[in-house]
Amino acid sequence: MKKALAAFFLVGVLGLAAALIWVREKPAALTKVAAPAPADTNRLHEASWYDKLPDGMVHCRLCPNSCRLPEGALGLCRARQNIGGTLYSLVYGQMAAVHVDPIEKKPFFHVLPGGRAFSLATSGCNMRCLFCQNWEISQALPGELQTTAATPEEVVAAAVRSGAQAIAFTYNEPTIFYEYMLDIARLAKARGLKTLVISNGYIQPEPLRALLPHIDAYKVDFKAFSPQFYTEVTGGSREPILETMKIIHEAGVWLEIVNLLITGLNDSEDEVRELARWVRDNLGPDVPVHFTRFHPLYKLANLPPTPIERIVRARDIAMAEGLHYVYTGNIPSSPGDSTYSPQTGEVLIRRQGFFVLENRLTNGVAPSGEVIPGVWQ
């Protein structure tokens, strides 16, 4: 048994080491693919937030990757390309996934409890997380996926027909289909739908501030409090995400945070405590934080699932640090499924997984008169 465990551990370590090398050794040159013929640009959408540079190069200013692209090159997101000195979105109007989900699945626990969200995605992502849950679409190159063409008007009409209360930009990273998301969000708001962004938070402040007036709620998947984890496991950096969360909160857009705890990488009690204190001191105690359990996937399939007790312990630590609304996810039904009154401790929204069993709030107000923050109507 000891030999078997040792062998498993060695394979796991070697697998993780290889995966980390994969992130560290990004090619110096950005991916180049054949540019469409000039007539094909009619089906593309010019990107926003970029500058034209000498010699036909472009500088994308949408996310912190800040790609500078020669002719024919794709950005690190694999969704934006320099074609003839103009930056185009390759994914505008091209849905790679669409579904109607419980809003709790996003997860949002303080947004329209029991409601449903018309959820859509394109391909591409501006990070390279080794544990990505949707890597089949987020890491795909243009043309590798079958997509469905849909205009923003068609998306909103389909959302209304579905009976959903909201449109969610989710599954892959919405930042990389920024223009499509913004056009849909504007139309959705006019039709009375809520707009939800499920994001890694890796976006520049300027485009974020331009987007926020059209968004009702923003969920940030905060990968870890460790800067080293961001560099080695996601291919991104931590500081821009901290800034994103501050900007969202300051703009008055509802914010929820998810922290996926991965065995041995970002699940230490000290790191959980640091995260809870940062949220408390910079965003306030009312911003919900969800600790969710890692399941082996993608390039970290060799690691074991996070122990359930570690997820429960993370919730206890965050609440002890003063956060009012702390939840657990990807584990069997637990007290962390439900929303409690910070004043009395009574259950206000009772959940089992993604399902609301009881909601005692009336437009966000508890029977005691206590106001619970969120998007309730």
| 69: CB partners within 8 A, 6+ apart | 30, 57, 58, 59, 60, 75, 80, 81, 82, 87
Question: What is the structure's pLDDT at 103?
Answer: 98
Count of beta carbons in the 10 Å neighbourhood of residue 250: 11
* Residue 296 scores a pLDDT above 60: yes
Q: Could you give the percent of the chain with pLDDT greater than 90?
A: 85
Q: Which among 122, 123, 43 has a CA at the least distance from the CA of 83?
A: 43
> How many Å apart are CA 199 and CA 66, to the nearest integer?
18
Mean pLDDT to the nearest integer, 330-344: 95
Mean pLDDT to the nearest integer, 164-187: 98
Question: What is the structure's pLDDT at 28?
Answer: 33
The domain locations on the chain are 11-89, 94-359
The pLDDT tens digits of the residues spanning 29-41 come to 455 555 444 445 6
Q: Which among 30, 32, 64, 58 has a CA at the least distance from the CA of 46?
A: 58
* Residue 11 scores a pLDDT above 50: no
Placement of tokens 């990107």 in the chain: 47
Question: What is the structure's pLDDT at 14?
Answer: 32
* Residue 85 scores a pLDDT above 70: yes
Question: What is the structure's pLDDT at 141?
Answer: 85
Any idea how long the chain is?
A: 377
The pLDDT tens digits of the residues spanning 55-74 come to 999 999 999 999 999 999 99
* Residue 142 scores a pLDDT above 90: no
Question: What is the structure's pLDDT at 333?
Answer: 87
- Strand pairing report for 116-121 and 289-293: unpaired
The chain-wide mean pLDDT, for the chain, equals 90
pTM: 0.90
Outline where the chain has alpha helix (H): 2-24, 135-138, 152-162, 178-190, 205-211, 227-229, 239-250, 269-282, 308-320
Q: Which amino acid is at 25?
A: E
Mean pLDDT to the nearest integer, 215-233: 97
Mean pLDDT to the nearest integer, 296-324: 96
Q: Say yes or no: domain 94-359 is CATH 3.40.50.720.
A: no
Q: Do 223 and 233 touch, CB atoms closer than 8 A?
A: yes
3-class SS letters over 23-50:
HHCCCCCCCECCCCCHHHHHHCEECCCE
Question: What is the structure's pLDDT at 43?
Answer: 72
40 Ramachandran zone, left/alpha/beta (phi>0; psi -120 to 50):
alpha
